[in-house]
Amino acid sequence: MSRRIERVNSLLKREISFIVEREMKDPRLGFITITHVECSRDLRHAKVYFNFHTTEDTSVVEIILNRASGYIQGKLGERTRLRYTPKLEFIYDDTLERMERIDRLLKEENG
């Protein structure tokens, strides 16, 4: 991955986190953490991975974020000096659950 893409990923993660945490007012979102961002090579698309702590179902939160992606993309355009603001796709990051499941299985195995 190029250094520029890494810098853009970092910038987008920081700015999207700020927008979601401070500027979106949907109470169903609860506390959301943007875990990482992966931009395409041409910087026109970005997969935004998130985790959250709320009582809502994963798919509900993912739908809310993807419906708000245009709003978030517009805010990014105002805040960043990128030639193109990438189209955002929000994806639930289940890494923590998978790690916990593996840890639980290993503990059961080792007794």
59: CATH: 3.30.300.20
Q: How many domains is the chain built from?
A: 1
State the pLDDT at residue 13.
Answer: 98
Question: Would strands 45-53 and 31-39 be described as parallel, antiparallel, or unpaired?
Answer: antiparallel
pLDDT at site 111: 66
**Token reading at 92:** 């639930």
| pLDDT for the residue 52 | 87
User: Residue 27: what pLDDT?
Assistant: 84
Q: Residue 50 belongs to what domain range?
A: 3-110
Q: What is the pTM of this model?
A: 0.85
Residue 101: pLDDT band with limits 50, 70, 90: confident
Contact status, residue 24 vs residue 52, Cβ threshold 8 Å: no
